[in-house]
Each structure stands twice: as C-alpha cells, then as structure tokens.
Structure 1
Amino acid sequence: MTGIARLKVAIATLGCKVNQYESAGILEALERQGVDMVPFDQPADYYVINTCTVTSRADVESRRLIRRAARTNPQAQIIVTGCYARLAADDLKKIPGVALVTDQKALIPGAIAAAKTPAKIVLPYAPRSFPDLSSLKPVRFHGHTRAFLKIQDGCNSRCRYCIVPLARGPSRSIPETEVISRMDELRRAGFREIVLTGIHLGAYGTDLLPPTDLAGIVKTVMDRHAVERLRLSSIEPVEITDSLITIFEQSGILCRHLHIPLQSGDDGILRRMGRPYDSTFFAHLLEKIRQALPDMAVGLDVMVGFPGEDEQAFERTLHFIAALPVAYLHVFPYSERPGTEAAVMSGKVSDADKNDRAERMRNLGKRKRTAFVQRFIGQELAVLVEGKPDRKTGLWKGFSGNYIPVMLADGDVSLINRIVHVRAHECRDGKLYGRITDG
C-alpha cells in the first residue's frame, strides 16, 4: 500500500443519519486502503461529497461544496454521490472539477485505491439499480460516541411532496441475523448506544421472508442484551403500534425518545400531502404515548407553507401542536421538488409567508423544549458522555436516554463514552446542568 499512502481524501456529508452512516462506511474503507483522510477545508487529491436532495437548499449546498473543493485544490478529483447524484447526474457532471457522479457508494473506496495516483477514476460497470444494504459496514463513527446502524433503505410511500422514493428506491431491509451480527460488532468496538436508522424505519421487515416488523427486531435485540442503549430514528405515526409502545414500557435499554413526522396539524393539508392519518388519530396516539411513558421525549417534523396552506390552516396547526405533549420541533419550509405531485399543485405560498410561519413555529418549539426539559430539574438522569467538551462553555456534555442535552459541572476526559448518573439542578437554553452522582 505504500504507493497510495500519500493520497489524501476528504469527505463532506449532507442530510440524514443514513447518509452519515454511509459516509462513515466510505471513510472506514478508505482508511483500510491506506489513504490519508483530511478535513474538507484542506487540500486533498480526492473530494467525496455525499449529497442530499430532500430540499432545494440541500441541492444548493451540494453545489457550493463542489465549487469549494475545486477552489481548494483545482487539480483534485471531485466525486459526487448520494441522493442528488442519483437524480441529477447529468447536471452535476457539467460543474467544473467534477470527475465522477455515482450512487454506488461502496465502489468508491476501491476505485480510489486502485488509481494509486491522483487521477480520474473509473468505476466498474454496474447495472442501474439501488445499492445493496450490506455493502458498507462501518464500526467507527468519528466524532460520535453513539453508533448508527442502517437496517432499512428506500420507501414505498408516496407523500406528494417527497422525492426520496425516487432517489432511494423501494423499501428494503437487512435480515434479523445480520442486524444482530452488526450490533455485536459495534458493541465489541466499544459503543454503548446504537441508533437504528433507515429511510423508512417503521417499514422494517415487511419485505423479508417471513415478514417481521420494527417491534420484532427491537424485541430480538432486547432479548439478546445486544447493547446498553438502543435508540430509534424517525418513525411514521401509523407505525407506532401498541406492541412497540409496550416494548418501550418494558425495556431497560430502549431510549424513551421518538421522532415523528407530523408535517401538519390541519386535516385538509394532511390530505393534500397524501399523509395516511388525520389530526384526531395523531392526538390520540400522543396521548396514548403520554399515558404509558410520561418521560418520553417526542419530537415532531413540521412542514410549513405547503401548497394550499393559508393562514387559517397554519393557525390550526400551530394551535394543534401547542396542545400536544411534545419535547421539541424540527421545522422546515416546504421546498418544491421537481417530479413530485406537489410541484404542480395550486395555492403556492410565498417565501415571505413560509419564513414567517417557520419562525413562529420555531418559537413554539423553543417553548415546548424549555417546558419539557424543566420537568427534569431535581431528577437523576443516565447520561452518555460525548467525546469532546461543549464549545461555548467548555463543560463536558452528553445526552440522556430521552434526548435531553446535559452539561456536566464536574466532568473530565475520563468520562468519555461512559454512562453516568447526573442530578440536574438548572435549565438554560433547552439544556440541563447538573453534577454526577455516581460513587
């Protein structure tokens, strides 16, 4: 490998936890090939940009990163991958400096290593298909004390605003035996918390033979004691079943944290979006969760400015969410995606109105966050300590099982990747401050 040891590669990642997982796999495979990884703002021989296309802003940021890499080293080879690469390959190839556009992420490390010198690389021919779920298997996640494990990819839903099914393909799952094997590898690598992730996580197992579901794989993990803490990424509301709620109640390892894409609280807008539930169903679901799991942190995705959303529809959403037992909101303005049904709908909302509504919804989210976090002042929480101190305060920090950021008044480097018990005594800016109570 001495011939390629001097090759320098930088990676930038946009988008979801699945993209982060896949970038970690690319990085780890490159390191095994003897390639030197460098920060993205430094000169490199190859730049790999793992793109997102869920919004037009993500497209803009992807192009900005390409131009930035070309400025940093005009002789570099720029490789563009990810969802934007899948849907707009011809446009991306026209950008100066781009050497390769591909969605076959697992082939990138080997192709760079085979080049041996900073030269334009060529991937072996692969039929136009969606990548194998098992092709990237990272066991290191730089900068993270928790590991991600992608157990599902793709989506069979047809929400009218979403381009992801076109970019990621149909729903596909990895078998339970492989999930357990991968979790064992991650545990042996030292991870105490593993986040199960996917593009449509709640659809896990429906394509397997025999079929299973998310509750089934979670129960299997629990029964095997495969990890100290298990966290789930985003789950659709209709897939939060009674059996899954029961597992949350019974489990000592499953983090009491759910991130749910609500999108709107107005029934007319939900129908226009093609969402398979109404506000009554959603309110009943959250009340069921609250009664069973009062300390559960529920976060919501909320989209504002969807075509047809007038001020009255937005106000209904605002008031609906204000009454829900939620911990935080992830708010984003609707972004038109070519090729979706929503792109040709009437009733477009101006950017000014979208931005105004987003700000008002985010302000509600801040109030919700503060109210939720304040409930835990005086309580003891189990906190997984992060790998570096907080930039602003210099304090060591971590997250509780129910996803509250906790700042440690008496932390130190020896606590990294340990789960410690912390007594919270203060809440500031949506964070708890406390002291360690472990003996």
Structure 2
Amino acid sequence: MFKKVRGWFVSSPPRALTIGFIVIILIGTVLLKLPVSLREGQSIDWVDALFTSASATCVTGLVVLDTGTSFSTFGHWVILALVQIGGLGFMTMGTLFAIFLRRKVSLKERLILQESLNQNNLEGIIKLVLRVIYYALTIELAGSLLFTLRFMLDMPPGKAIYFGIFHGVSIFNNAGFDLFGDYRSMANYISDPFVNLLSIVLIILGGLGFVVLADLVEYRRNRRLSLHSKVAIYTTLLLFIGGAVVILLFEYTNQKTFGPLNMADKIMASLLHSMTPRSAGISTIDVASLRQATQFLLVILMFIGVSPGSTGGGIKTTTFAVLIVAVLAVFRGRKDVVLLRHRIEPDRVYKAITVTLFSFIIVVVGTMLLSVTESHSFMVVLFEATSAFATVGLSAGLTPELTDIGKFIVIVLMFMGRLGPFTLFYAVGPRKGKTLYRHAEGKIIIG
C-alpha cells in the first residue's frame, strides 16, 4: 500500500514538485508556531503560521503579522530559510546536498529538477543546478555585504550584518520580507539612492532567470545571447522604463506619495516601484495611498511578472512578449508569429495563451471570493489577489485585516502562483498521449 502511494507521488514530476512544496510549507508552519520563533509577549495561531510559511516558501512577502516586531531571531531565520528554499526550489537545494554526499541524482529527480527550473530537456540539468546555486549565493553574498555596509551608518555592526543578510537574500529572491517593522517596508530609505539602486539591481538579477544569467556570464566568451535571453532582457527593460514613466506621471502631484519629494527622489521612487511589482514586494511609499490608476498599473505589472526560471511569479515576460507579437501578426494578416526575426512555433503561442488565460481565471476567481469574504473596495481586493498569485508581496492594506477564510484563499493563490498553471494542471492528472485521429474542421465567427 505504501509503495503504491509513494509511486503515485513520484510518478509525475509536477505532482512530486507540488507535494514537495506542501511538505516544506507544513514544516515551516510547525517551526513558526513554536514559542522560540516569536518575540516575548507575542503569539500566533495555526492559520497565521501557515500563512507566513506559505508566503515565505512561495517567495511572496504578504504578511498578516509584522515580521520585524512579531518574530524572534529564530523566527526570522526560519522565514529566511523558507525564502531561500522557495526561491531556488527545494529540489535544487536537495540536489546540492546530494552532490555534497556524493549521491547519484536519479532520473526521476532529474525530471523533477527539469520541471522546477522550467527546462525543455534533461541535457545539462545538473550543471545548470550548480550554476543556479553558484550565481544565487554569489549575488546574495554581494547584496548582503553592500546592504550591511550601508546599514552600519544607521545601526550597530551586529544588527547591520543581520539586517544586511536578511534583506540581501529576501530581495534577490523577490520575497519582499523586511525587518524594519510597522508594515512600512523600506520607507525610511525613500531618499537613499544606494539602497534604492541596490534593491533594483537585486530584483532584476533575481527576476531575469538563471538561464539568462548564465547567458550573460558567458557572453564575453560566446559573443551571443539566446533568443530567450534577448526577449527576457528587452521585455524587462521595456516594462521597467515604461512603467517608471507612467508611475511618475500618475503620482507626480499626489501629496500622499510623490508630491512632497524632490525631482530626484520622485524619479528614484518611480524606478523602484516600476520594478518591485514585477515580484519583489518591497516599497518606499504607502501603496494604499497611490491613485487608483497607478494601483491598476501595478496590477498589470504584477500579473506579467518576471522571467521563466527565476525566483518570481506572474505569467512571465516571455509569455507576454509572445502574446504581443501574436496579436500583431493577426492584425497584419500574417500566418507566422515572428519575434526578433525568429518564427515562434504554434505550440509555444498556444501555451502562452493557455498560461495567460488560466492565470487570468485564477486571479478573477480569487478576486471574486475575496470580495465576498472581505469588506474592502474592489481595487484593493483585486490588487491583493494579483499580488498573491504573482508572488509579489505588495499590499494595499488588506492582508493584515484578512478573515481566516480570506487567509486560506490568499494561501491558495500564492501556492498556485508559485508552482505555475502547467505544473498544477499536470499534477492533478498525467499528460495524455497524442490522439490518433482528427476531428472534421469547423468554422465559427470570431470577433
């Protein structure tokens, strides 16, 4: 009986990946429920512990309890460990331990790694895992060191090192957790160019995806980038710069956000808040005070998200790019979908449409359910649902006030967003083989 159950779990890589994330979340829940994880005088119920563990494992950053003031040092390390495991993937971390123990990585484990890293084949998968770990740890170390040096100007060295490591790892993994307290995120550094620019760089590096990072590292030797890397980089830059310009225009005169700032600080805040909704979740202004037009723009940016194989969520930049060129191809009356002088295969276009539609349905259903359970405006509910599904972590003020039912809805949204539509779909049922027949062609009127 046990063998049958175990066989059902590991027979499908998506299913094994799904079960693995659930196990990690449950372990984190138990650890965060321990008294040692909380500051003296603080308490946490099982629902809030589950929510915090899910948010950390899914590298989201939405919190029902303030991370800086509610949890102890042990609790902070538990959260950071969950962020690291969730950001790199538990199979990636497991493979690292297997290599250290000189244990051979099985074919089934390689298949799960392939699913976890969004790769199309198994060739070089272990080599890619080692690169992922090397790049991640190197960038996290550099980011933590730079944050530490900056924080030493404001706090004792020991605390600065502690804060530097936590925020370096959290921001690179696009998690959005912070230790500054009072749900203010990094508002104290709104006028600090060093903290803002370092945060933007870490978010971009964490969001480009490890395949793109590998391409960039090898560019000096190969002098070329893959189509995937080009699309990911160009789309990221376009959304980053375009989003910053629109945010600056929308919030320029808003006295609750950009109004009191000088021009340099307005530009800096625009750049950060154009990048952070892509999956990072940190902020230097009160998101709830943004104009509704700006909030809706952030919803769009959150829904698009970052690039495949990264630490973030959303439908991904490459999916968005394929959708745009597919629409342009229809408008121009062309049969082929062409992107950067490369023809995109029809199955890739269908997959992009499927991912987007499935994700849209999840966000819509989540928004509808939260509208029933929570007494907030529609924009706030939509913002929170999208932030949860895209594993962003930005909040318009709803998450700390969620009902228990609302917390469970957000947990499901975060979980579905972290795994992705296709992983969830194939986890429920195995992929069927090709059909041996074709139906008669039918014609319907579109548009």
With normalisation by structure 1, the TM-score equals 0.28
Higher relative contact order (CA 8 A, sep 6+): 2
Q: Which has the higher strand share?
A: 1
TM-score by length of 2: 0.28
Structure showing the higher helix proportion among its residues: 2
